[in-house]
Structure 1
């Protein structure tokens, strides 16, 4: 099991437990206290909304405001046909979360200024973020869906995704990279509780309407 996979497992368990101690998780995952503490610190740095409680009975908790804001959302299952996206690409080590927080907003800014260069757009009102966290690499494309990729503009790439089933969740409010990632892991926990399995080898889609990036539909791929 890679470190990225282990971090995903620990993160999912944290969202499920809501409150925990490092010792509890260390015993559950059969690792040392120091190793689990390092995992928790890395997850906190990646944007997981953890609150540390000091004292004899202290530990960690998911921030209540986060749980309340996410708790009322619902999702639906859809089958999306083959999807081709053209846009700007970002690749970095999975743990380079701060780099992603800086670079991805810049991709969207550049896409906005050069969207008219993209040929054969399906709908110019919509923007699509395509992301994958696998092994040690985080891959993200900020782009526009097209019917067929022709004459790619300079510095842009294209990606074609096969038809597949997704769970779709409408996220509104703050759309910082950390907030979107929080919503993603919240959804994974919710799917797991309903007996659904997401496909970690497939790309997740973030669909925005126009240049207003404060609302999005998140598409989580299912197995």
Structure 2
């Protein structure tokens, strides 16, 4: 049973290699498709009508060997090129710029229903704590009534993203741009005595632009 499986795997590998080699010939030399019917006709005449000569199979064998050798060299060149690019990428202090359209697309999809609510809740708790600890003397009470970052997600790497080497650490450099007018932050402040009155602080828009290194 094991011998049958081994024979089947070897034959399947040979068939796969033959198919790949044939596809390579069609890509590199598309005109060969026009010669295949001629070769078959010549072979039929050679087989059933009359013999051309004994050197025709030898010529075909030499030609096929040369084409297969070129195919193998091309595979080797592609493999060496991939390895060389990988070595350059790992050893280079600065990598080429990488596009981040896919990242911004993903962030736009998940920001309204996932990131925005969680960040809004976390930041609102942080702001309330800071207001209680660092309340100005002119204010008797400061209350955060509403805090929402909105549905407009920030943009990352509009000019691309790259990795650089600083010392022994790899650092990612990416641009950050957040321009939104959909956020809602509402603060209610009550003035302390002898002043009387209340004030509302409303923030509806925000623009942050810079670079992020991590």
TM-score (norm. length: structure 1): 0.23
Higher relative contact order structure (alpha carbons within 8 Å, sequence separation ≥ 6): 1
Compare the two structures and name the one with the higher helix fraction. 2
TM-score (norm. length: structure 2): 0.23
* Structure whose alpha-carbon radius of gyration is higher: 2
